Chain A
């Protein structure tokens, strides 16, 4: 079974400061990992994904994440926060297609982290 833990349900930063949202996963096979963003009353938008290629993944809006197998982590970062980054962020995991399991395609999400950006 797979699981995702997002440390910190709320993160608050000042505009221009570093954004760090933490995600740790548990998986019996090397997973695919995703970060999604959800603005109020909207659906989820994909920020970036890791699918076993480069461990440092760059996404939209200046976000990036690094897959660290030894730490089972996939933390999301952005060097300089902008007011428009205020939203809820979800880390998710799924099995890759060659894992032989039945969970491929089924995303398992973390609880979410609400990011607040102060002027």
Chain B
């Protein structure tokens, strides 16, 4: 059973460009979480999605950031008009369900975004 897949693993963008980060959850998982790891900081929660629904986006910056998890295909984290402060490692995690015993979050390898 393949783990959580993220691509690209490394992404370089110039200021003002758009960045699209993809996350394919583990097979059978319908819950996806995005976290951001800024340099010298721990991971910070960004957004929690289920298929076609955003459940909790309390950690998402109000502007330029958006996320989706369509019925078919991977979850996408989109950053418009990137700035240097967006440079970070972005991790996706998935879980089977939001219930006792099945809620362990499994993390992908991350996408390392560098904004020039």
Contact = CB atoms under 8 A, between A and B. Distances in A.
Contacts, number: 63
A97 B100 contact: yes
A77 interface: no
B87 interface: no
Q: What class of interface size applies to chain A in its complex with B?
A: 20 to 34
A111 to B, nearest CB: 5
A42 B42 contact: no
Nearest to B106: A46
B103 A109 contact: no
Given A104-B98, A107-B33, 19 more contacts: A43-B4, A44-B43, A44-B107, A46-B106, A51-B101, A92-B43, A96-B100, A97-B98, A105-B31, A105-B48, A105-B56, A105-B95, A105-B98, A106-B48, A106-B58, A106-B59, A107-B35, A108-B45, A111-B42
Interface of A: 36, 41-46, 49, 51, 90, 92, 96-97, 102, 104-112
Interface of B: 4, 6, 31, 33, 35, 41-45, 48, 55-56, 58-59, 91, 93, 95, 98-101, 103-110, 112
